[in-house]
Amino acid sequence: MAAGYKTGGRVKGTPNKRTAETKAAIRAVVAEFEAAVPSAFDGDAVAFMQILYRDPAQPVELRLDAAEVAAKFERPTLSAIALQPQPKAHIDLSRLSTDEIKALVPLLKKALGMASTQPTIEAHHD
């Protein structure tokens, strides 16, 4: 750009070599497949991409591009889900009798993995 504007090189909008080869290969596959199975696609782009990436006669770059496009429709994508914290359960034990509390303590210790020694219970009844 010595003169302040572009000189030489590829004209804007002209595809590069890989793009031109890919488009030519796609046109060749379409022509070949339509000759074998007329109106096979009927607008089904995913089926077309599957044919491209499954065809071992096609260039690897073309097959990879087709597989990348088709994969979005063949398998669902996972999305992140924010976990909501669960509210802590509050149990009012004030209505239980002393005997009910004594029966409950060993069960709670077992559930919490604590030693099952005889608990000391202090009942506070108002």
Span 68-107, pLDDT tens digits: 988 888 888 778 887 777 777 777 778 888 898 888 888 8
Q: How far apart are CA 22 and CA 20, in angstroms?
A: 5
Helix (H) or strand (E) holding 47: helix 45-54
What's the predicted TM-score (pTM) here?
0.36
Confidence of residue 124 (pLDDT cuts 50, 70, 90): low
* Residue pointed to by tokens 């202090």: 122
Residue partners of 76: CB distance under 8 A and separation at least 6: none
| Predicted pLDDT of residue 14 | 82
| Predicted pLDDT of residue 35 | 76
Residue partners of 115: CB distance under 8 A and separation at least 6: 109
pLDDT tens track for 20-58:
888 888 888 778 777 776 666 666 778 888 888 888 888
What 8-state DSSP symbol labels residue 38?
A: T
Amino acid at 43: G
| Predicted pLDDT of residue 48 | 80
